Amino acid sequence: MKKILIIITIFWCFGIFAQTAPAADGKPASDSLDVAAAMKLLETKEQAFERLANTNPKKGTPKYAAKDKEIKEIVEEIIDYRFIAEYIIGKKWAETSESKKEELFNKIKELFTDVYLDKLFYNKSYEKKYLEKGTEKKYLKGIPESIYITSEIQGVFKGKTVGYELVYHIRKIDGKYKVFDVELDTVSLARNYREQFEKNLKEKTVDELIANIDKKIKSSKSEKQDKKEINPAAK
């Protein structure tokens, strides 16, 4: 459970955005990476996340639906879902039909947003400070150059403060900065999922993998509902 909650925290901390960084003359910046601009936009988006996290509307109300919608819209902008999906599926992605790619892609998005983000935004709090930032070469295959931003997170788990290090990996695509991986205490989320999915795909079809992801989503939602029935006061 602790591991799941820590992983969940990753997705709330995905505070990077799909915006074009303006140049000094007001025109869009070139394709070169601007670490300072990425950092500034990161902080701006995280302020929006914090504002949303500090509201606590009752589930099922219009205010709750509006908060949930705004959170997911921001996340849709900041996470490079397409790269993540292609990377973690690996060689099988090219062999998969377009219709199955889309189905698999949507399931991966649902797993990340509807499960992890829902748990995080309504059940978790944290404090963060940034440690260092810069550029890196060939961090993952297919990404020749990217930005890294290292931060230290302190959160609360079962009433106790826990701390860990997060490294955000950001690339610029179509003039926009997006997160394509996060490392938690040196463990890469993208690589970790790639290993898991590749192992499953050696033994299972894409349809079976989709079914497994769907099962994981339903199991998590069922677990959350069971907790609410035990503790009706839980949000």
Measured CA to CA, the distance from residue 161 to residue 49 in angstroms comes to 21
Q: Which CATH entry fits the domain spanning 2-230: 3.10.450.710, 3.20.20.100, 3.40.50.150, 3.40.50.300?
A: 3.10.450.710
Contact between 179 and 76 under an 8 Å Cβ cutoff? The reply is: no
Q: Is residue 220 scored above 60 in pLDDT?
A: yes
Beta strands in 56-204 (DSSP E): 126-137, 145-157, 160-173, 176-184, 187-188
Beta strands in the chain (DSSP E): 126-137, 145-157, 160-173, 176-184, 187-188
Q: Is residue 165 scored above 90 in pLDDT?
A: no
108 by DSSP, 3-state: which?
Answer: helix
Average the pLDDT over 59-73 and give the result. 88
- pLDDT tens digits for 110-160? 876 665 555 444 444 566 788 899 999 999 988 999 999 998 877 666 677
Average the pLDDT over 76-100 and give the result. 85
Among 29-33, 90-94, 115-119, 184-188, the range with the most confident prediction by mean pLDDT is: 184-188
Measured CA to CA, the distance from residue 19 to residue 172 in angstroms comes to 10
